[in-house]
Amino acid sequence: MASIDIKGVKKVYQGNVTAIHGIDLAIGDGELVVLVGPSGCGKSTLLRMIAGLETITEGTIAIDSAVVNSREPAERDIAMVFQNYALYPHMSVRQNLEYGLKNRGTPRAEIDSRVAEAARMLEIEPFLERKPRQLSGGQRQRVAMGRAIVRQPKAFLFDEPLSNLDAKLRGQMRVEIRRLQHRLKTTSVYVTHDQLEAMTLADRLVVMNGGRIEQVGKPTEVYDRPASLFVAGFIGSPPMNLIPLEALKNIVGSAVLKDLPTETDLIGVRPDRMQTGEGEGFVLTGTVDLIEPVGGESHLYLHVEEIAAPLVMVMPGRPDLSEGAVVPIRLPLDALHPFSTRTGLRTD
Amino acid sequence: MVENRPFLAVLTHLVLLAGVVIVAFPVYIALVAATHGPTALTSGAMPLLPGGELFANVMQVLTENRRGVAPFWLMAWNSLWMAVIITLGKIAISIISAFAIVYFRFPGRVLAFWLIFITLMLPVEVRIIPTFKVVADLGLLNSYAGLTIPLIASATATFLFRQFFMTIPDELMEAARVDGAGPLKFFRDILLPLSRTNIAALCVILFIYGWMQYLWPLLVTIDPNYYTLMMGVKRMAAVSDADPQWNIIMAAVLLAMLPPILIVVFMQRLFVKGLVETEK
Ligand SMILES: Nc1ncnc2c1ncn2[C@@H]1O[C@H](COP(=O)(O)OP(=O)(O)OP(=O)(O)O)[C@@H](O)[C@H]1O
Ligand SMILES: [Mg+2]
């Protein structure tokens, strides 16, 4: 167990590709931090620098207050779970779990007890003598986690560990990882581009974009107060509606919207905060373009005069509306997120 | 492709049969020739059915010492050594060089790669005179070293291993690094076991390659103690003052064909086992 301190870290790959433009991040002892962001934003690069699989171009990474920049992965005492599991195909599950311990010269009795413990925890005891190829994807994933757990490392590093699993299994394993991490209280860094995974797993969420950190915070904080237009569009599904302030003022008059910070020229509204019917806030008139029933809720795509992009609204159940219907859309004032297109940032 | 046209089926089978006959007939002739007495083959008409002298001929090959030819056992021993050293040497060198090229970033890596690549274009036959000069200057004529080292240095096997290593996911190496395995440990614990099938296949191919060498041993050996089987068989046929004893020569040919056949038959089981078991 350990803290991880990342200070001014940059990564420039061969050929002058800058993957990380200077990142500062302090990860506390026992914390589960999720790095989330679009493809190519540098999540894996950052994780691999923590692991020691990539060199650090600039800045320092410290594990447990000791700078590890020049240490080999094995000397950093971290364990990594890979997207494709990376189990040794010619070794049995047991040998896979033992390999790292053997290389460290752990005594036999200790190895046996740790393997037994991890196997019990992950319910992989029945497969211990099998080869990885004789396991299903989910079982392989468990073995990969087992290989990390037996080592009792200072930190777990996960690089999209669930993305090769089907949706149902992904959900189960997500819960399991959360449970294990709570139980073992091992500092963890988890990379994903699945925002549901990110929201549900994280103690703290780190949203990355283009090699930079956009926002760090509790998942609910990030959801409730996105710090930039990028985060607003990236976190939340369906994504936040972004309406030009001018258009909004033309429809409802500038009186209602006068208290906004000066830079503001774009207003964001979460689809689930929009309502029909009476209440506080102001009302737009929309025409229903499309209704998508998504099980327990429905997504309405609405066209509003003066606003170019369709607005998305989430309604519980199956509203009694048909396409082409005209509905009043109420936007509560406290659901408005003011942004500036010039800076790309939140203005309040 | 599933087709049901009797005419095509007959035709394809005929073509295949013709191929089999072309390959098998000379072997059959050798077999038949080895089973006849000394006169049957020199009479002008080649018998097409086996005779009863096989055992006698084989015994004569194994025991008799003839002029200008080393004893059969010695030649077989030399051939075996040569084939084994070439096989092991080539595999050892090529797997290590492939490991270096694929897994290490060292200065001159690209150069090393191309140098190895270029040797593909220069088999022994092409560079035979300079190679002979080098071997002679090093005093390696009439030695196992002279017989084998020039044939060990070649790139085909390196490429095979390189191709194979490149199909192994990088994550496996990274997982091993995180697990505390240095480069040599990774090589021994992970790459070698995964290359088992490739090594077995190469063993077969290279053993036969080494066993069949004719031109090079002919050049670098003058001392009959280093003659190999392939040379010996040829020398048996090259008698000047009498008719060649074809029945004896063919018996020797049959014996010389045995080790490659045994290797293929024996290693085939390993192959199949390896093929069934490997998976990445
Ligand atoms: N070995 C490399 N050499 C050069 N550029 C690289 C290398 N590895 C990654 N990059 C570049 O660095 C950037 C970040 O890559 P990285 O793999 O960290 O992205 P990621 O956030 O993990 O994306 P994904 O979600 O697709 O896995 C990308 O633009 C990528 O092209
Ligand atoms: Mg990645």
Whether residue A299 is found in the same domain as residue A333: yes
CB pairs under 8 A between A and B: 62
Residues A6, A61 contacting (CB under 8 angstroms): yes
Q: Are residues A136 and A59 in the same domain?
A: yes
Q: Which domain holds residue B267?
A: 70-276
Confidence of residue B274 (pLDDT cuts 50, 70, 90): low
CA–CA separation, A34 vs A25, rounded Å?
Answer: 12
Residues 6 or more apart whose CB falls under 8 angstroms from that of B235 comprise B68, B69, B227
Are the beta carbons of A329 and A274 closer than 8 angstroms?
yes
pLDDT at res. B53 = 83
In this structure, are residues A218 and A201 in contact, taking their beta carbons and an 8 Å threshold?
no
User: What is the rounded distance in angstroms from the CA atom of residue B151 to the CA atom of residue B216?
Assistant: 9
Tell me whether residue B260 is in a domain: yes
Q: In this structure, which amino acid lies at residue A54?
A: E
A74 shares contact with chain B (CB less than 8 Å): yes
Nearest to B178 among A74, A88, A90 (CB): A74
Closest-CA residue of B relative to A78 is: B178
Query: What's the CATH code of the domain at B208?
Result: 1.10.3720.10
Contact B186, B176 (CB under 8 A): yes
Same domain? For A220 and A283 the reply is no
Give the three-state DSSP class for A296. coil
Burial of A302 (0-12, 13-18, 19+ CB in 10 A): buried
Domain count, chain A: 2
Q: Do A103 and A127 sit in the same domain of this protein?
A: yes
Q: Is the pLDDT of residue B98 over 90?
A: yes
User: Residue A345 domain-assigned?
Assistant: no
The rounded mean pLDDT for chain B is 87
Taking only the tens place, the pLDDT of each residue in B237-273 is: 877 777 788 888 889 999 999 999 998 888 877 766 6
**Residue B277: its pLDDT value, please?**
55
User: Does B10 fall in a domain?
Assistant: no
C-alpha A25: how far from its chain's center? Answer: 15
Are residues A108 and A225 part of one domain? yes
Same domain, residue pair A80 and A222: yes
* Residue A17 β-bridge partners: A13
CATH code for the domain in which residue A261 is found = 2.40.50.140
- Determine the distance in angstroms separating the CA of A118 from the nearest CA of chain B, rounded to an integer: 16
Q: Which residues line ligand 1 (CB under 6 A)?
A: A 13-14, 17, 19, 37, 39-45, 193
Of A234, A252, A269, the domain-final residue: A234
Of the ligands numbered here, which is closest to the C-alpha atom of A39? Answer: 1
Residues A190 and A269 in one domain: no
Does residue B247 belong to any structural domain of this protein?
Answer: yes
Distance, in Å, from the CA atom of A11 to the CA atom of A56, rounded to the nearest integer, reads 6
The count of domains in chain B is: 1
| Binary contact (B171, A78; C-beta < 8 A) | no
Q: Looking at A234, A256, A287, which one is the last position of a domain?
A: A234
Q: What is the per-residue pLDDT for B248?
A: 87
Tell me whether residues B185 and A88 touch, CB distance under 8 A.
Answer: no
Contact A155, A5 (CB under 8 A): no
Q: What is the ipTM of this complex?
A: 0.87
Least CB–CB distance from A90: residue in B169, B171, B194: B194
Phi, psi of B262 (to 5 degrees): -60, -45
Which residue of A44, A50, A88 is the best one to mutate when testing the B interface, meaning the one whose CB has the most B CBs within 10 A?
A: A88
**Residue A162, C-beta contacts closer than 8 angstroms, at least 6 positions apart:** A141, A169, A170, A173, A174, A177, A192, A194, A197
Confidence at residue B101, expressed as pLDDT on a 0 to 100 scale: 92
Tokens of B62: 């194994």
Q: Residue B60 and residue A236: Cα distance in Å, rounded? A: 90
Contact A100, A176 (CB under 8 A): no
- Look up tokens 């996960």; give the residue: A158
Is the CB of B185 inside 8 Å of chain A's CB atoms?
yes
Interatomic CA distance for residues A155 and A72, integer angstroms: 15
Banded model confidence at residue B276, pLDDT cuts 50, 70, 90:
low
Q: Radius of gyration over alpha carbons of chain B, in Å?
A: 24
A348 inside domain: no
The reply to whether B56 falls in a domain is no
Q: Does B233 touch chain A (CB under 8 A)?
A: no
Pinpoint the alpha helices (H) of A190-288: 195-201, 219-224, 229-234, 245-252
Nearest to B179 among A83, A89, A100 (CB): A100
**Hey, is the C-beta of A73 within 8 angstroms of any chain B C-beta?**
yes
| Whether pLDDT at B67 is above 70 | no
- Give yes or no for B177 touching A (CB within 8 A): yes
Query: SS3 for A26?
Result: strand
Q: Would you state the structure tokens that stand for residue A44, as one six-digit string?
A: 């894996």
A300, HSE (Cβ side, Cα atoms, 13 Å): 30
- The percentage of residues in chain B with a pLDDT greater than 90, rounded to a whole number, is 44
CATH code: domain of residue A224: 3.40.50.300
Atom of ligand 1 nearest to the CA of A193: 25
One domain for residues A180 and A266? no
Instruction: Let me know whether A221 and A312 are in one domain.
Output: no
pLDDT in tens, B143-180: 999 999 988 877 888 988 999 999 999 999 999 999 99
Q: What's the A160 CA to ligand 1 centre distance in angstroms?
A: 14
d(CA A238, CA A268): 13
Measured between CB atoms, which of B174, B189, B196 is closest to A53?
B174
Give, as one character, the DSSP assignment of residue A158. E
Q: Is B56 on the interface with A (CB under 8 A)?
A: no
Within 10 A of A53 (CB to CB), how many other CB atoms are there?
22
**Tokens for A175?**
């819960």
| Low-confidence stretches of chain A (pLDDT beneath 70) | 1
Q: Kindly give, in sequence order, each residue whose CB lies less than 8 Å from that of residue A72, ignoring residues fewer than 6 positions away.
A: A52, B177
* Single residue among A234, A266, A289 that ends a domain in this structure: A234
Q: Which residue has the higher pLDDT, A6 or B4?
A: A6
Residue B27: φ, ψ to 5°: -65, -40
Most ligand 1 atoms within 8 A of CB, residue of A9, A11, A17 to mutate: A17
DSSP state, B189?
Answer: I
Whether B279 has a pLDDT exceeding 50, the answer reads: no
pLDDT of res. B238: 78
Residue count (chain B): 280
Is B233 a member of any domain? yes
- H/E segment holding residue A338: strand A337-339
Q: Is residue B236 part of a domain?
A: yes
Q: Considering every ligand atom, which ligand is closest to the CA of A18?
A: 1
> Could you report the per-residue pLDDT of B99-136, keeping only the tens digit for each?
999 999 899 988 988 888 888 888 788 888 999 999 99
To the nearest whole Å, the CA of A137 is away from the closest chain B CA by 14
Q: How far apart are CA B77 and CA B82, in angstroms?
A: 8
Q: Contact, A166 vs A13, CB < 8 A?
A: no
pTM of structure = 0.85
Task: Please indicate whether, in this complex, the C-beta atoms of B185 and A103 are within 8 angstroms of each other.
Answer: yes
Q: Is residue B280's pLDDT more than 50?
A: no
Same domain, A206 and A251: no
Phi, psi (degrees; rounded to nearest 5) at A105: 70, 30
Cα A226 to Cα A183, A218, A242, A326: the distances in Å are 30, 11, 13, 31
Nearest to A103 among B172, B179, B196 (CB): B179
| Neighbour-count burial of A20, counting CB atoms closer than 10 A to its CB (0-12 exposed, 13-18 middle, 19+ buried) | buried
Is B91 within a domain?
yes
Provide mean pLDDT across the span B194-215.
90
Q: pLDDT tens digits, residue range B35-62? A: 888 777 777 777 888 888 888 888 888 8
Residue B2 predicted with pLDDT over 70 = no
**Atom 19 in ligand 1: residue holding the nearest Cα:** A40
| Distance in Å, alpha carbon of A319 to nearest chain B alpha carbon | 49
Same-domain check for residues A212 and A316: no
Domain that holds residue A77: 4-234
Q: Are residues A114 and A41 in the same domain?
A: yes
Contact assessment for residue A105 and residue A126, using Cβ atoms and an 8 Å cutoff? no
Are A211 and A18 within 8 A, CB to CB? yes
**What is the Cα–Cα distance from B254 to B60, expressed in whole angstroms?**
13
